[in-house]
Each structure stands twice: as C-alpha cells, then as structure tokens.
Structure 1
C-alpha cells in the first residue's frame, strides 16, 4: 500500500517556525554530504538516483512546514518512503506533463526491477536523512517563490556527484551565483516587456534563469509573464532544469529540451510543439486509470507513469 505522506503531509495547516534564508554555503555543504553518503552505497556509479531523491524532496509542497514533512519521512518505513518519492513525481507529471519528458531521466530508476530492492531502499534512506539533516526542506519549502529561488540545490548536487573526469568530459561546472547575478543585472537593467522569451542554448540546470527570475521579481515583475526556453546536451542537467522551473515558479511558458542546439537548431522548437500532445497523453492515461478505485488506481497510475517515462529515457540514451 502506498504511504499517504509526502505530497499530502501538510494538508492540515500547522503552525510553522520561521524559515531562515538559504545560503549558498549551506547548499554546497548539503551537496557534499549527499555525494559522500551516496558513495558509501552499492549504487555509487548512479548519480541519477541521489539527484532524483534531492529533486523529489525539493518538489514536495511543504508550505513553510518542513518539520511536518520531516516527521512524515521519519515515520515511514524504507519501502513506503520509496513509494512516496514515486508519488511526488507522478503528482508533478499530472500538474506539468509538458516537463515530464525532461525530468523523465530522474524517474527511470523507480521503474527498474532487481533483486536488491531492500538495499536500494536503505541507500535511498541514507540520502533522504542527509537532505533532512542539512536543511533541504527549508531551502525549497517556502510558500514564497522568491525565497525558494535563492539557491540552485540541484546544480551543486549534480556537480558533486560527478567525478572530476566526468565534469571535464562534459564541460560541466557550477556557475558561481555572483556571475549569474551579474549577467542577470546586465540582461535586465529594467523590467523586460511582458511576453518576452529568454533562451539558454546550454543552460545546465538553469542557474542563469534563476538569477534572472529573481531580478524580475526585484523589479516588481512576475517570471510567469515571460517565456523560458532552456536546452542542454546532458540529460541529467536538463532534468534538473525542469525540476527547478517548478521549484522557482517560472510559470507555464517553460520549454526544457535535451539536445545539442549547434548540431540540431530545431530541438527547442520540437519540444515546444510537443506540449499539447503531452497534455493529451496525460488526459488519456488519467481517464483510463479512473476506472480503478482507491489505492489500486493510484498505484496503477504510479506504475504506468514511471514505466512510460523510464522507457522514454532509455530511448533517449540510445
């Protein structure tokens, strides 16, 4: 049976202590701790799994109540916690189907079958406990989008999970926040006209978009009034950008694509054109699952969505 905890854990309002502002040094320490914990598990060669764990926890709508979520996590057995992470992903697939192909690589491992399910669940618990201990739920759990957008947790995490050789091969390095803030202030010396679209052809996890969205908010605007198009050649970086688009509340006019714009200039346009089709696929699947009842139906939805996105991720890797 699925745990009802993670997405709905704060359905009942709970008095919350004030959340302190997230700091980049705190995020760096969190990322280092996640990487260290993961390297002590049998799955150390799979950076997609801990990145997915961090991403799914960042996506929990904790509504300024990180302690409530932490108690739910602590009270869940390892297998129910794993199931809860899957339900977080499906919740956001229902809400944002156009981003699902991008964050699919972070869901693929949840559909894999193997003899070591208990070992995997224990390994997941290690990372979850580190995330809670180092304050991830506070960093990403504010109801205020400006507070949630102060840091890029996933960029730091992905950088720490990559080996130095892999980072050099991919040309993948965390861009310092001071640099992205400088670029954002130069890009938007005044509030851009509503409806303008911003393009990042090698955007990583979206650090420049984060800084630009914050700059727009500081100028009295709303990032949802703009278009955001990001492409990156690395599937995990693009997946992190898709998650960040939700966490940072960039709005509905977001296109995230995995590809090489130098070799394939139309990759972003194809992703944009696929939005309507992806919403239709979601509606069809939800209609089919609606014939099931209660937990059985919810479980069927989780299984079918994770399997479908895992298959798409496998095709992309080929």
Structure 2
C-alpha cells in the first residue's frame, strides 16, 4: 500500500445536503472568507488526491479581489466523487453544484459573495455544463449564480478512451451498449465486468459509459473533432469570465491532437469579453500537474489563477 504524499490539511468540513460534503482549506487564515473557489475533481477523484490542491489552497488565502476581499479554496465532493461517477450524470452533478453554491451563499455556509467554479479533468465538464445549462438561465436566483470559472485539464474522455482502445474495439463496445441497453430503455442498467475494466474497475451504467465514450455523447465538450458550431453551443453561451489552463504534456490527450489549435478554437468560440487573457497551455504539465511534470508547473498555475481572481467582479 502506497502512502499519501499530501501532508495533513487544516480546514472546515461543510455538509450541504444528504451525503454531500465540502472541505474548505484554511491553511493560513483559520477562518472562512467572503469569497471561494469551488473545486470539482475528475473521474475517480476524491478528497485531496489532486496534487496541486494544498499549494493552491495556501496561495488562495493570499488572493485579494479588486475590492480587497479575501478567498479560500473549497473542494466539493459530489455523489459522483470517487467511484460514484459510474452511476452519475452531468445533470445530477449540476443540481448538486447548485445546492453547494446556494449553501455557501446562505447564513450557515458563510454568506459568500463571490464564487468561482474550478474544474479538473471531467470536473471541467461539470463546470461548463453548469455555465451553459444553469448559470445563464433567466429564472436562476442570484444565490445560485457564479462569478467565473476555471478549466484545468479540459480533456476529451471520448478521445482518451479511443487513445487506449483500437477504433474497431471501441466501436463494437459502443454498438453493444446502444443496441442492448440504450435503444431498449435500459440506460440505468449496470454494464458487465468487461466494461468496468475500461473505467478504473468502476461499476458503470449504460448511460454513463455511452455518454463518456461516444462521439457527441452528453459528456463530449472538448474533443478535437467537434466543429466550431459545436463549440458555439457550449463555449459560445458562457456569460462569466473563463480561465482555461490546458496541460501541455497531458497523457490523456492523443498525440494527434494539436493542443494549441484546440485551445485557440475554445477561445474563438467564447465571447471575447469573457475569455481571460491568462488562459494558456502549461508546458511540461501532465494531466494533474503531478508525477512526470516539469518543475515549476504549480507556480504557473497559481500565478494564472491569482491574476484571474484579481479581475473577478
């Protein structure tokens, strides 16, 4: 058994619904703050297993908005955390993110004023889904609105899976799932063992497997084969500032993908007033900026987030 490389962290545990928790890092201030970054991990992520979180949490306590107000980092644990992603959906995650945002706006949650979502990996899909399907709704109460979003390692799960499997093999699996489950109204059925092995040995429903791995499935927001019209339906509907930090050496991105061109397409599809100029490819960074990354990648991420937060109104 390998031991955690993350040192013990000080903080506050919040509960914002049944079996829904969030951890607020308080490494320096030892107290809550008026503003927070709400962090959402990717597939299989749980508390503290994204390497840069402690460093980002420490830096966040030093952030200041233009009005001088301070910030903390909060990691939210949705029911899709750890192995829960296999039976979840982006829609359910967005409902739980909304609960978290409204909790932190409430008296019990500290009456936070500014909230920025930060997604890592599939957490980027959660963040973009919230921006597109929740945050810009005309009937959304102020208590559920966010003031900005950060996407770190916004990779395509579909392309990541196709990178590991032969095209014919993945195509046959998708056909089997569609023919035997999706087309017969069995989206919520748990797939056999051979499918679990492809998703970190996690029980997975027909719906979530198809959503994650098929072209233009519900989770397919960042694939290089998507058209500019596709990106306009997501990035083009953003109504708050957006920071994109793409990992330059992301092991889940196929070598055939031109990362610079892809990020440029994200930018062109986003309304210019909302694309933050600190967006960049972090050269030498692996997917989570952890093992295998070039030295200094944490510093680049923190500097970029610091500049972004300073501009959030």
Same fold, TM-score > 0.5, yes or no: no
Structure having greater relative contact order (Cα 8 Å, sep ≥ 6):
1
Q: TM-score range by the shorter chain?
A: 0.3 to 0.5
Give TM-score, length-normalised by structure 2. 0.36
Instruction: Identify, as 1 or 2, the structure richer in strand.
Output: 2
Q: Which has the higher helix share?
A: 1
